Amino acid sequence: MSPTPKIIFVFSGKRKSGKDYITELLQKRLGKDKCAILRLSAPLKAQYAKEHNLDFQKLLDASEYKEKYRSDMIVWGEEKRNKDPGFFCRATTSGPDADSPVWLISDARRKSDVAYFKQNFYKITKTVRVQAKDSVRVDRGFVFTSGVDDAESECGLDDAATWDIMIDNNGDQTQLQAVIAEILVLAQSAISIES
């Protein structure tokens, strides 16, 4: 039997916009017993590491090691997605963390990623766009990389029409905490609904 969460938040945004930071804050507030961070890039990186004899754990963090292979991983991942657009979404949501009632999909990058959750979990999916000014992203370590920052993996959702929740993550903690509180209310309401 496949896991059935109570609510799914699908996060998207540019590199260094703060997606991981925000999803980790939410998980900390909700508790790991109720909330799982599911990364669409995890199965991609696991398979890529296996096929290329690389260190999977180093590909997961924000390291120079990951950056060294990022462009090639993007090309490799696109080839897999072209054959099966839902491949990485299914792999992510069939893992052990998928038993949690709240899923935080921390890294949606393509319209096919959002479509997968909207089509398969329509009533419980909320889309979240995290934005930050370029100057703020640079302060966080962003450096434009041709072939990465102008590729679909970074730009595929730039023209998406609507988001359920928008987060401007430019360093205003009061504003950020207000949006986090809004997400927490939705999550806690979904968890309390008896099925």
In which residue are the tokens 């090639």 written? 72
Structural domains in the chain, CATH included, are: 7-192 (3.40.50.300)
Predicted confidence (pLDDT) per residue in 131-152, tens digit: 999 999 999 989 888 877 777 7
pLDDT band at residue 62 under the 50/70/90 scheme: low
pTM for this one? 0.86
pLDDT tens digit sequence for 99-109: 899 999 999 98
Structure-block tokens of residue 186: 């939705």
DSSP state of 122: G
Tokens standing for residue 97: 């963390």
